[in-house]
Amino acid sequence: MSRCSNKIEKRAWRALALLKCLAIVTVLAPTAMRAADAVTSDKVSFYFAAHEDDWQLFMNPNAFEDVLGGAAKTVFVHVTAGDDGLGAATGGRKYPYYLARENGAINAIRFMADADRTPIADSTGQMIFNGHPIYRIGYRNTIGYFLRLPDGDASGAGFAGTGFQSLKRLADGNIATLTAVDGSTTYHGWSDLVATLREIIKYERARAPLIQLNVAELDPRLNPADHSDHLMTAHAALDAAADMACVRRAYYIDYASSKLPENLTAHERDMASAVFGVTLAGVIAFDQSTAWSHYDQSFVGRDYYRIEEAAGRCHAAPAVVAAKP
């Protein structure tokens, strides 16, 4: 593979060659991304996570920086329940595992939004998108969505406990429907799910001139052996925004980042570690176990990604504006 010919900016100074970067992409540091946002601070940034701790582990401190002011609004879309095959069951604990993981994500979002501020009331409830009720929580300049679809396991084969349902099997046409673990709704085919995500993006974007989609890297040369749910969530988000104007795309290295050196500054690592710690505290509060040491040592302190900038001039609102679903 040829060396990257585009200008490359480092997050810190470490090991960019390990990314095996493609000649058509640029790897940006958070400071560079924030500088690019200086003239478009009214962007809406979307973090598409397969599981309720993915953005904390693989997309931070970028998410924290967006919440602190890098974006006018930051939207976290959690696609699966992260239930590990339990569905809505508790696994012998007080609360279902998926609700414990949701509580962790909600606590993390509130923690970032409340930095140096007094907590306020949130707004919660279901909203209908493309005919599907989806749990939504709004807090300050953040929004969280939880679609609660079955965890598909790393291979995408699904779990026996949830009828071997998975995002991958739905996309491949091996199953015709995919039902949320809480029974709230059923998606009839991949296109139904994509259309639903599209309505969420359009609604939350409103008239924002620029949106940013933060997703898992799909190039296996950069992000080998990633979890199927990570990849399928990225595919669904990208499909949903395929024909939208003024969309910046950020692709993150997920599991493969554990084999790369830490590349955050001490301050950035503190930010990422704090958010992940709050996430785990939320899980524990719902009587479920966590694994701090493994994830902290493997992923926290690393944030590798590439950017595809939006095409054209994106300082004015797009011509097509979504109506409320």
Asked if residue 35 is part of any domain, the answer here is no
In a domain, 313, yes or no: no
Residue 34 to residue 133: CA distance in whole angstroms: 34
Residue 27 in domain: no
Tokens of 325: 């679903």
Asked, for residue 13, whether it belongs to a domain, the answer is no
Residue 79 contacts residue 230 (beta carbons within 8 Å):
no
pLDDT (tens digit per residue) in 197-241 = 999 999 999 999 999 999 999 999 999 999 999 999 999 999 999
Residue 196 placed within a domain: yes
For residue 111, give the CATH number of its domain. 3.40.50
d(CA 78, CA 54) in angstroms, rounded, equals 9
Mean pLDDT in residue range 258-282: 97
Query: 17 in a domain, yes or no?
Result: no
Sequence-distant (≥ 6) Cβ neighbours of residue 294 within 8 angstroms = none
* Structural domain includes residue 145: yes
Contact between 173 and 211 under an 8 Å Cβ cutoff? The reply is no
The tally of CA atoms less than 13 A away on the side-chain side of residue 216 is 29
Residues spanned by the domain of 226: 40-308
Instruction: Name 188's bridge partners.
Output: 177
- Predicted TM-score (pTM) of the model is 0.88
pLDDT digits (tens, 9 = 90+) for 28-85: 444 444 444 444 468 999 999 999 999 999 999 999 999 999 999 999 999 999 999 9
Total domain count, the chain: 1
Query: Would residue 25 count as lying in a domain?
Result: no
pLDDT of residue 41: 65
